[in-house]
Copies of this chain bind each other. A is one copy, B any other.
């Protein structure tokens, strides 16, 4: 059981979702975040004040997957989110000790395999 945390470009999100869908990865959670990395910072001006926006808009995906799915998932993201320009983002694979599906109280494997409703 792993929790895959990926930071990608907002305008790549749909491609990533698409590619995850094709990889049969169904459950995931997305949130809007701000990121700082090697990108050169945007500069903005408001009246007399000039500011440097050190943070760029990014999207964070959090995907809980069972072992066999880890590589598939990572690959799906790497393929879809890549532009080759600085700012593409990162993927982190974090170990998980337990997963629960709230609806059914199912645990672990059962909890992440697509729900049969």
Contact = CB atoms under 8 A, between A and B. Distances in A.
How many copies make up the complex?
3
Contacts of A23: none
Given A27-B90, A31-B34, A90-B102, A3 B5 contact: yes
B38 A34 contact: no
Given A30-B55, A86-B117, A97 B95 contact: yes
Contacts of A30: 33-36, 55
26 contacts: A3-B5, A3-B94, A7-B29, A17-B54, A26-B36, A26-B38, A27-B35, A27-B38, A28-B35, A28-B36, A29-B36, A29-B58, A30-B33, A30-B34, A30-B36, A31-B31, A31-B33, A74-B100, A78-B105, A82-B105, A84-B103, A85-B103, A88-B102, A88-B103, A90-B102, A92-B99
Contacts of A3: 5, 92, 94
